[in-house]
Each structure stands twice: as structure tokens, then as C-alpha cells.
A and B are shown apart, each in its own frame.
Chain A
Amino acid sequence: MRAFVSFVYLFLYAPIALVVLFSFNAGRSASEFTGFSLAWYGKAFSNTFLIQALQNSLIIAFTSALLAAVFGTMAALAMERMGARMRLVFDGLFAAAIVVPGVVIGIATLVALAAVFSVLNPALASLWPTATPPQFGLGYFSIIAAHGLFSMAVVSMIVRARIASLGRDIVEASNDLYATPFGTFRQIVLPQIMPSVLAGFLLAFTFSFDDFIIAFFVAGSKTTLPIYVFASIRRGVTPEINAVATTVLIASLFLIFAARFLMREKTMRTSGEG
């Protein structure tokens, strides 16, 4: 069994090792190693289009994850307070947002926005005082909207699971001690659900950052990192892509370990106090 498990880890990491290895390739090809060099890191970070794609991806992932974390948590709290029938509606919507394939979300968003724009843009043009009215189009907004769906649903599910595991007695105790509802929320509930909100945020960020298929339909003229990578697979991958992928991997590993370290510090401090 050990051998099998080792083999699976090899299977998981061999392609990643290959990606990292070729990022140090001296040659032009991402498939033939001709010597060690850091040149592609320099090329990657002076390539405006690649950097722009990376920036777009970061902006979109951060915004959609942030909105999802806030609105998703709010919805989770609301669901605790609403009637059973409304809750069922929300449950259904969130389940749909998670289960409907990304390719369908992309298509539905594209189709709906195309329909809306085909009415809105001429209307705006006829009302606009100058000859060059602003045009609504696909872009940041449509990608964030479509990514936010899945993300919000995921956040609210994670947070609801956490709320369900919370004891109600502590909230009641707080209320009995004449804390305001908001005070109770801020001092009692929020700290308890914060880890799951953060987990939801991270999941949402990762999902958005890695998504190709939804953005492929609704990105308009914006290029996200996955769209850039897909386009460069078609025009011939250079180790630039490997360099960026390696940088992203290392950055995220660093962030995970930093987060874990900070959390450990915190738990050690709290347990020290208690």
C-alpha cells in the first residue's frame, strides 16, 4: 500500500516538477530542456500582456471572493432567521449555483448579457447627448458576476455548517446580559464563524483564479491568466508560462505557510491565556 501511495504522490507531482523544471530552461521550448537559466522569469515579468493577465486575474479573484465572502456570510446569517419556505428557496438557488456546470453558467451569462446589451446600448445611444455614448460590454463586471455565483453559494454553505455547530446558548447568554444584537454578533458570533468565512474566501479566490471556462465566454476583451495560458498553448508555449505558474505556486505556498504559522501563534497565545 505504501508503494501505491508513493506512486500516487509521484503521479500528482511529476507534472508539477516538469512545469517547474522547464521554467528554468535556457531554450525556447517548454518541452526540450537545453540548459539552466533564469531568463524566462525576466521575460515573463517584462511581458506586459502576461502581467496584465495576472493582474486581471488577481483583481477579479479578489473582488469576487470578497463580495462572495461578505454577501454569502450575510445570506447564511439571514437563513438562520428566515422561515422554512424562504430557506428552501435559498437552499435551492445556492445548490443550483454550485451544481450547474461552469460551461452552462458561462453560456447563460453570455446569452443574457448579449440580450440586455442589444437593448440597452442603442437606448443609451439615442439618449446620450454626444456622439460617443458609453457602451456596456463584457469585462471585469461580467466575470465577477459569474464567478460570484458559485463562490457566494460555497461561502454560505460553509458558514451555515459552522453556525449549525455553534451552541445557541452562548448567544442567548449574551442577550441575557443585555448585549445589543449587533454587539452579540460582533463579539460572539463573528469570531466563531470567522475561520469558515476565511476558508470560504480562500476557496472562492482559488476557484476564480483558476477558472477558464466561465471567463472564456464572458471575458469580452479582458484576458485572465487562464485565458492567456490557453491562448499560448495554441500559439506555442514558451517557458514564460512555466515561470509564471511556478511563481504563483511558490507565492501561494508561502501564503499558506504564513497563514498556518500565524494561526498557530494565535492558538498558542489563546491557550496560554486560558
Chain B
Amino acid sequence: MSKLPEKPISAEALTAQFMRLKRGSVSRRHFLGVTGLGLATAVLGRTGSFSLEAHAQDLGSQMSLATWPNYHDPASFEAFTAKTGVAVEVNVFGSNEEMLAKLQAGGTGWDLFVPTNYTISTYAKLKLIDPLDLSKLPNYSAKTETARFTQEGVIDGQTYAVPKNWGTTGMAINTDKLKTPVTSWKDFFELAQTEADGRAMVHDYQLTTIGSALVSLGYKFNSVDPAELAKAEELLVKVKPHLFAINSDYQPAMRATDAWMTMCWTNDGAQLNRDMPEIAFVLGKDGGEIWSDFYAIPSSAANKAAGYALLDFLMTPENAVKEHIANGAPTTDSRVLALLPTEVTSNKIVYPDEAALTPLEFGAAVTLTDPARAEVMARFKAA
């Protein structure tokens, strides 16, 4: 009873409060308390005939998510749809460049997407994403996130993106088929031309494909030095006839044993190894990539409300845990880490020793927009 306001609220005041609620500047609890609707909701909510929780008409009936291959637990979306009535369309892409190109060409229809750490500053600069309204994400907890993996989502004090998970770019090797041990990117490119001839895959993605080639030659993963890029291009073009495919979705080929060895992200490595123990996941001791993927909402999104709703749903630790168990990528959120079963947290593919991570580098923003890297990749594919 103490929550009830002294006198009945006027129509104008109710409208004003409601607009504030809709804009997200006040919380639902505040709104309900001020307007006295809280009691009514509490009473009616029990009968199930009136529930503000659903917001069904506000969220629309569908939304679209742009993400990476094999990156989510399909059950997460089913649960979200069951809860909100919003169906989620999932589109997958093979590189950040592809996502950026789509957004630049206009009209993607995405309401939520999953960019990688080093791309966020460019998206923000091009005004393709807006700062997030954190009041619409009550389940996101900045305190419990690991700064190392979250910092690039914050620009000038404003949060443009919140982390999904982190991971590494290593190699997946079918040890039934390949007997020579592989421990470095140098080994990877050598084996691709010999024992794994016709059976190796590289990503359709400049950052990792050029980056790993650079690393194998002893250069920096993020190099944009013309001479070093020329060496990397030379190596890639030499290896190309020996490759099985250039494709960022390598799970089907690895599972069918069409391919025996591939560049591989942590989450795919964990999934492949879980289902086919003969597939090992190896980090290059000469270097490679460490990354974190983020959720962001395109400024062109048609259904931002649903984008926020799905994002908040996925940020809820109980839901995030299921995602992480299914997808196999390491979490950035200590709340989620605490909930994960030990067989996940002790999995060295998912949580490698710190020493193995030392040679790895985060992608640099310059690689996304550097015309030379884009052209080297395009020439390699067209060679």
C-alpha cells in the first residue's frame, strides 16, 4: 500500500510517465509505483489477463539477427519467441567486411548483429550504430565483465556494443587423417601443401587469412606494411591450388571429412571436438588472433525494441549459460562463468592456459578499412 501515490494520478501525468517509460528514462518499477498501476498489475497479473511483461505489440512479431555460422543455441531463440512472441530470423556471415558492406549498402533489416571488437570504432564513426540505451538492458552487468574483452565496446564513455563472448583463432586438425603434428601457422601452411593437399581450408575473411599468413612468415598479425602484405599474398597464392576451399563456414566440410584441417574459431573448435574427438584444436605458438565479439544495434534497425529485448534476454546469465554451453565460446561475464559446469570451464579448447594466449594479438581497427588488405584478399580469391 505504501507504494500507492497519495492522490490519483492525472491523465497528463500518466501520459508523461508512460512516455518516459517508453523512452526508457524511467524503469518499469518506477512507472508502476508512480502511477499506481503496480497494485492493479499485481492483482490482475495473478489472474493472467493483464501483463505488462509481454509488451507484445511494442516488440512486433519478428526481428532479424546477423551473426556468424554455428554461433548460437537454436533453443535460445525458441525460448525468446515463446516468451515474447517475436520470431527471430538468423542470417550468418563469413566476415566483418561482409557485414559492414551490407550496412553500407543500406537496408539490411537487421535489428541486432554481432561485430568483432576491432570493427566497433569504425561502425560508430560511420554512424552505422548508435550508443546503446543501457536502461533497456537491465540484465547487462558492466561490473562483472572482463575489461580486456569489453573495452572496445565503449567509445568516449558511451557504450556502443556489449560483449557476447571472447575467443581465439586457431587451427582444427583431424588427427585421424593427418599424422604430422601441427603447432604453428608455419606448420599449417606447409602441411596444406603437402600431407593435407586438397584438404585444408582458410577463412573467406581478410583478418584471419592474411593475418595468419603474416604470422607464419614471422610478421605481425595486423600488419599493413606493403612489403609484408606482398609476401603474405605470395604465400597465399602459392597455397591456393592446394586448398579444399576458401570459406568461413568450415564445420560441414570438417564433419563430412571433406576437409581435414582448417583455420578455426574457438567455438567451432569446441563444437567439432565435442562431436568428433579426433578433431583437435590448436593455437599457433607463433601467434594468431584473440578476439571478442559484441552485440550492437544498427542505427537503421526497424525494430529496435525487439533488438533490445533479445539482447537483454541473451545477457541474462541463465540464458547466456545455455548459449555458452551450446556454442563453446568462453564467456566475458563472471556471473556466467560461475554458472558454467566444470567440464566446460576446464576444457582447454575453451579456456586455454594464459601462456598459450600470450603470442596472440587482437585485431586492429586499421585492418578493416585498409584498402591494401582488402585488395590482397580479393586478389588471392580471384587468383
In the complex, B109 has a CB within 8 A of chain A: yes
Question: Which residue of A117, A222, A231, A234 contacts B106 across the interface (Cβ within 8 Å)?
Answer: A117
In the complex, A110 has a CB within 8 A of chain B: yes
Q: How far is the CA of A181 from the CA of B220 in the complex (A)?
A: 78
The contact size tier of chain B is 20 to 34
Tally of chain A residues near chain B (CB < 8 A):
17
Given contacts A139-B107, A231-B92, contact A49 B302 (CB under 8 A): no
In the complex, A236 has a CB within 8 A of chain B: yes
Q: How far is the CA of A235 from the CA of B302 in the complex (A)?
A: 23
Closest to B107 in A: A220
Question: Which residue of A31, A49, A117, A234 contacts B92 across the interface (Cβ within 8 Å)?
Answer: A234
Q: Which of A221-255 contact B (CB under 8 A)?
A: 221-223, 231, 234-236
Given contacts A138-B106, A139-B107, A220-B109, contact A235 B69 (CB under 8 A): yes
- List residues of chain A with CB within 8 A of the CB of B105: 110, 114
Closest to A237 in B: B252
Do B109 and A234 have beta carbons less than 8 Å apart? no
One digit per residue, 1 when the CB lies within 8 angstroms of any chain A CB and 0 when it does not, for chain B 91-116 equals 11110000000000111110000000
Q: How far is the CA of A126 from the CA of B90 in the complex (A)?
A: 35
Q: How far is the CA of A126 from the CA of B252 in the complex (A)?
A: 50
In the complex, A102 has a CB within 8 A of chain B: no
- List residues of chain B with CB within 8 A of the CB of A137: 106-107
In the complex, B344 has a CB within 8 A of chain A: no
Do B62 and A49 have beta carbons less than 8 Å apart? yes
In the complex, B87 has a CB within 8 A of chain A: yes
Closest to A52 in B: B62
Q: How far is the CA of A137 from the CA of B69 in the complex (A)?
A: 28
Do A48 and B302 have beta carbons less than 8 Å apart? no
Q: How far is the CA of A185 from the CA of B243 in the complex (A)?
A: 63
Q: How far is the CA of A138 from the CA of B104 in the complex (A)?
A: 13
- List residues of chain B with CB within 8 A of the CB of A110: 105
Q: How far is the CA of A221 from the CA of B108 in the complex (A)?
A: 5
Q: How far is the CA of A222 from the CA of B249 in the complex (A)?
A: 24
Q: How far is the CA of A242 from the CA of B319 in the complex (A)?
A: 32
Q: How far is the CA of A231 from the CA of B249 in the complex (A)?
A: 12
Do B108 and A234 have beta carbons less than 8 Å apart? no
Q: Which of A94-145 contact B (CB under 8 A)?
A: 110, 114, 117, 137-139
Q: How far is the CA of A236 from the CA of B109 in the complex (A)?
A: 21
Do A235 and B106 have beta carbons less than 8 Å apart? no
Given contacts A48-B62, A49-B87, A234-B92, 17 further A-B contacts (CB under 8 A): A31-B256, A48-B61, A48-B87, A49-B62, A49-B89, A110-B105, A114-B106, A137-B107, A220-B109, A221-B64, A221-B302, A223-B109, A234-B249, A235-B69, A235-B92, A236-B69, A236-B252
Residues of A within 8 A of B (CB): 31, 48-49, 110, 114, 117, 137-139, 220-223, 231, 234-236
Question: What are 23 A-B pairs at a CB distance below 8 A?
Answer: A31-B256, A48-B61, A48-B62, A49-B62, A49-B87, A49-B89, A110-B105, A114-B105, A114-B106, A117-B106, A137-B106, A139-B107, A220-B106, A220-B107, A220-B109, A221-B64, A221-B107, A221-B302, A223-B89, A223-B109, A231-B91, A234-B249, A236-B252
